[in-house]
């Protein structure tokens, strides 16, 4: 989901709680809040020698042990995104959520649904991929690359 779509989903529901659901179906605990909203730019060389650049909007979720009754609303998240506007160069940036009760992981933000009066955003795992399949001999020369077409998902 890109930043524009996220904002469009949040704005009509300012008083509703936001819930992020991990790929395994468990939600990030409801006392979470977004501690950072940032612009992340990654420039890298793939294994075929092509220089690539990927930019995202990264939201860091943290669960408060101080205030177990804390709940993030769509209005509050919209406000955080508005405060972040000067550093986010485009509403076309894909949005990712960084979270980890142990090791920190990053997730892509997927579909939104209104469930039990909450805005429920499904998170999907990020996956690595070879972005230079032809150069690596993983597909015959000139063949369609299929899922390797998505730039920046590997690296």
Q: Inform me whether the pLDDT recorded for 152 exceeds 80.
A: no
Whether 56 is covered by a domain: the verdict is yes
Closest CA to 58 of 35, 75, 31: 35
Tens of pLDDT along 43-81? 999 999 999 999 999 999 999 888 888 899 999 999 999
pLDDT band of residue 150 (cuts 50, 70, 90) is very low
Whether 146 is covered by a domain: the verdict is no
Report pTM.
Answer: 0.85
CB 153 within 8 A of CB 145: no
Under DSSP, the state recorded for 76 is H
Mean pLDDT over each residue of the chain, to the nearest integer: 90
Whether 14 is covered by a domain: the verdict is yes
Question: Which range of residues forms the domain containing residue 101?
Answer: 3-126
Whether 149 is covered by a domain: the verdict is no
Whether 131 is covered by a domain: the verdict is no
H/E segment holding residue 134? helix 133-136
Please state, in angstroms and rounded to a whole number, the distance separating the CA atoms of residues 137 and 16. 50
Q: Inform me whether the pLDDT recorded for 30 exceeds 70.
A: yes
pLDDT band of residue 102 (cuts 50, 70, 90) is confident
What confidence score (pLDDT) does residue 144 get? 55
What confidence score (pLDDT) does residue 69 get? 87
Please state, in angstroms and rounded to a whole number, the distance separating the CA atoms of residues 39 and 55. 7
Q: Inform me whether the pLDDT recorded for 151 exceeds 50.
A: no
Whether 69 is covered by a domain: the verdict is yes
Whether 84 is covered by a domain: the verdict is yes
Number of domains comprising the chain:
1
């Amino acid at each position: 989901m890109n930043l524009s779509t996220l904002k469009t989903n949040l704005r009509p529901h300012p008083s509703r709680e936001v819930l992020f659901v991990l790929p395994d179906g468990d939600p990030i605990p409801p006392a979470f809040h977004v501690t950072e909203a940032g612009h992340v730019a990654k420039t890298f060389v793939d294994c075929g020698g092509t220089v690539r650049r990927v930019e995202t909007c990264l939201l860091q979720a943290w669960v408060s042990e101080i205030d177990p009754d804390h709940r993030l609303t769509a209005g509050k998240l919209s406000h955080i995104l508005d405060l972040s506007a000067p550093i986010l160069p485009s509403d076309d940036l894909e949005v990712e959520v960084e979270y980890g009760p142990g090791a920190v992981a990053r997730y892509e933000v997927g579909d939104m649904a209104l469930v039990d009066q909450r805005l429920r955003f499904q998170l999907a795992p990020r996956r690595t991929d070879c972005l230079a399949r032809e150069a690596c001999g993983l597909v015959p020369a000139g063949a369609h690359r299929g899922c390797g077409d998505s730039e920046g998902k590997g690296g």
